[in-house]
Structure 1
Amino acid sequence: MKKIFLVSFGLAFIISQLMAQVPQCINYQTVVRNSSGQLVKEQVVSLKFSVRMNSVSGQEVYSEKHAKTTNQFGIVNLHIGKGTVLSGNFETIDWGAGKMFLKTFLDLSGGDNFTEMGAAEMVSVPYALHAGSIYVNYSNDTLYIGDQAIYLPSGNGGTTGNTVTDYDGNVYGTVTIGTQTWLAENLKSIHYTDGTAISGVFDYDNNASLTGEYGKLYTWEAVMRRASSSSAVPSGVQGVCPTGYHVPSHTEWETLYNYVKNHYEVGGSLIGQKLKETGTAHWETNNGTNETGFTAVGSGEMFLNGGEPDFQHMKEAGDLWSTTQFASNPDQALEFRIYDSGSIMVQTNTVKNKDGGLAVRCIKD
């Protein structure tokens, strides 16, 4: 069976203001791509949702399905609770009875041959739908209930839908995570924005067919395009990035790290979990939930071995350049690293020789 996948999904709870009645539905947004990584545009797809109690394999308290047409960006928007009911009653779900989990299924053909796409705990739903009898207000991703304030990351934690096109015509989705907007995939450019060919760009294992899934690998000099090391926010280094975007500094990577840590209340390996693509298509082993929509993949890296490129760690690590030179060695620069086990090394000053090759994620100016 041809694999299909949702590159990002989001739950945004419809919260009433003050003492108004709480609407009995949940906003849901997803971007659909096929197995080649291409957006599924203006096509009818079917989605099924199953609400489970206490665990992803627990009792099903409600399920429904939707047939929706993706827009020109491959995006589907719908309301969970307003679909074709398969079992249960959404309005009578006892959100306070225990933990609730949402399982998502997809049929790319728009039929009923569903493939399970993943599951996630519905951490915020009990608060949102049980708030009709008390003061409730929602502002800037924060839910105020009575005298309490609760941060509600909106599913993927970011807003998706805009696209960016580079000089070579590659089109990238974007995701906003906190105050930062990132390309939602690794860079594939072989030219700078003025049309100059990039020297120091590689395909993993010299296999161009891998570029669509993992992006290109670049030397630091190619990435920087003669710019000086920067730790600033923003870095001020456009380098290989498309117009309106730049290469992130180490400080900007730390901002992402801390946002996930603070707003998802996790640390260590779980930060990587929130940033990584789900499944094992691009990871050897994977605990990723991609709740941020960052969709990190195990793009590997390139070393020079006797002057010749040596490619390693595909599906084991996602290594991404920063614009910040390592203070202790001018031949090295700091990187942002996500392992297949989920750990992120960005705050431990992980470094890479500048003549090696890493992937690039661009951030909006």
Structure 2
Amino acid sequence: MLRLLVLMILLGCTTENNLTFATNERPKARTINVKVDDDIGKAMLEYGSLVDERDGREYKTMGVSGQWWMAENLAYLPKVTALMTFYDEEQVQYFVYGYNGTDLAAAKNHENYSLYGALYNHDAAMEACPSGWHLPSKEEWEGLINALDATDDVGTRLKSAEYWDGTDDYGFNALPGGDGPPLLADSKPDRAGWWTNTTSLEDMCYAFTLESESATASFVSSLLAKGYSVRCVQN
């Protein structure tokens, strides 16, 4: 098995799919990629890590046929929103599943934050990724599924082998991080959703979703105020 260590310093953002990523106030992200010659399905898989220099948090990453994805849910949380204002679409909003309040330290100490990361309304999701990375489109999610050659049972194969019924064949580690509004503090989520940057209907966008006891995955058209997880893709 060939391993090659590549150090990449990402100096800014680019424009993808007619989307512009601001760089004037966004800090740099540092990525360390470890290349692994490992064929699964149709894809060449690579694994590495990303350091978000906004908060120093490190994430596992995976390269699928040359496209790099975060292999953990984004946990960037500059503030936290009380549930009473959940459906205010005019605000950038951040949530932690099971936490209801505005105390950022308390939200970050919640067990669901350390396990599942943060939930974002769509406005927050569009600007949450670190510099050099972006919120993926529906087409990029479809490309991931096709590259892995896992269209029939992609749900099972992407899900973590812990916390629900997955096999995590690729190291994507999809956890049941829930969606919003997360009203019950003592409830455990049995589904997961990740925002895309693709519009479905007026004031709605697609989310990629997985559910417990289902081997498949689906795209749902969701209100922009809803809270979903985020997986970022390298520009």
| Fold match by TM threshold 0.5 | yes
**Whose strand fraction is larger, Structure 1's or Structure 2's?**
1
C-alpha deviation, 1:211, in angstroms: 1.0
Compute the displacement of 1:153 (Å): 1.4
In the TM superposition, 1:289-328 aligns within 5 A as 289-303=167-181, 310=183, 314-326=188-200
Contact 1:167/1:191, CA 8 A, preserved across alignment: no
What do the CA deviations read for 1:282-334 (whole angstroms, capped 9, x no partner)?
A: x2xx0x2212111100000003xxxxx636984421100000111xx322110
State the superposition RMSD in angstroms.
Answer: 2.9
What SS is found at the alignment partner of 1:255? helix
Aligned ranges for residues 266-285 of structure 1 at < 5 Å? 266-268=150-152, 270-280=153-163, 283=164
Letter of the aligned partner of 1:360 in structure 2?
Answer: V
TM-score for both structures, normalised by structure 1: 0.45
Q: Quote the residue 1:338 is aligned against.
A: 210
Say yes or no: does 1:174 pair with 2:61. yes
Cα distance in 1, alignment partners of residues 151 and 132 from structure 2: 31
Partner of 2:115: 213
Gaps of 5+ in 1: 1-11, 15-26, 28-72, 78-139, 142-151, 193-197, 225-238, 304-308
Deviation at 1:258, TM superposition (A): 1.3
Q: 1:301 touches 1:314 (CA, 8 Å); kept in 2? A: no
Shift in CA distance, 187/311, structure 1 to aligned 2, threshold 3 Å: farther
Q: Deviations over 1:156-184 (max 9, x none)?
A: 96211333224122211111122321111
Letter in 1 for 2:218: M
1:241 aligns with 2:129: yes
Matched, 1:354 2:228: no
Q: Which of 93, 114, 122 is the matching residue for 1:200?
A: 93
Give me the whole-angstrom Cα distance separating, in 1, the residues matched to 2:137 and 2:229.
Answer: 14
Q: Which amino acid aligns with 1:296?
A: A
- For 1:297 and 1:202, locate their aligned partners in 2 and report how far apart those are by CA, in whole Å: 16
Does the CA contact (< 8 Å) of 2:208 and 2:218 recur in 1? yes
Q: Distance in 1 between matches of 2:44 and 2:168?
A: 9
Structure 1 residues 298 and 218: alpha-carbon distance in aligned structure 2, compared to 1, 3 A threshold: same
Check the 8 A contact 1:301/1:311 in 2, yes or no: no
The code of the aligned residue for 1:290 comes to D
- The aligned residue for residue 6 of structure 2 is none
Matched residue count: 182
Q: Is the 8 A contact 1:164 1:174 kept in 2?
A: no
Q: Which amino acid aligns with 1:316?
A: D
> One-letter code of the match for 1:338?
L
The corresponding residue for 1:223 is 125
What do residues 24-47 of structure 1 show as CA deviations (whole Å, max 9, x unaligned)?
xxx9xxxxxxxxxxxxxxxxxxxx
Q: Which amino acid aligns with 1:275?
A: L
Structure 1 pair 311/354, CA: closer, same or farther in 2 (3 Å)? Answer: farther
Aligned to 1:306: none
In the alignment, the residues of structure 2 paired with residue 289 and residue 157 of structure 1 have an alpha-carbon distance, to the nearest angstrom, of: 19
Give a deviation string over 1:170-200, Cα, whole Å, max 9, x none.
21111112232111100111249xxxxx940
**Residue pair 1:200, 1:218 contacting (<8 A) in 2 also:** yes
Bigger relative contact order, structure 1 or 2, given CA contacts below 8 A and separation 6+?
A: 2
**Contact 2:161 2:167 (C-alpha < 8 Å) held by counterparts:** yes
SS in 1 for 2:112: helix
After superposition, the Cα gap between the structure-2 partners of 1:337 and 1:273, relative to the gap in structure 1 and judged at 3 Å, is same
- The alpha-carbon distance between structure 1 residues 165 and 331, as it changes in their structure 2 partners (threshold 3 A), is same
Amino acid at match of 1:300: G
Match of 2:13 in 1: none
Identity, % of aligned pairs? 28
Contact persistence 2:49–2:58 (CA under 8 A): no
Q: Quick one: distance in 2 between partners of 1:358 and 1:169?
A: 22
Bigger Rg, which one:
1
Residues 168, 191 of structure 1: 8 Å contact kept: no
User: TM-score when scaled to structure 2?
Assistant: 0.68
CA distance in 2, matches of 1:321, 1:302: 12
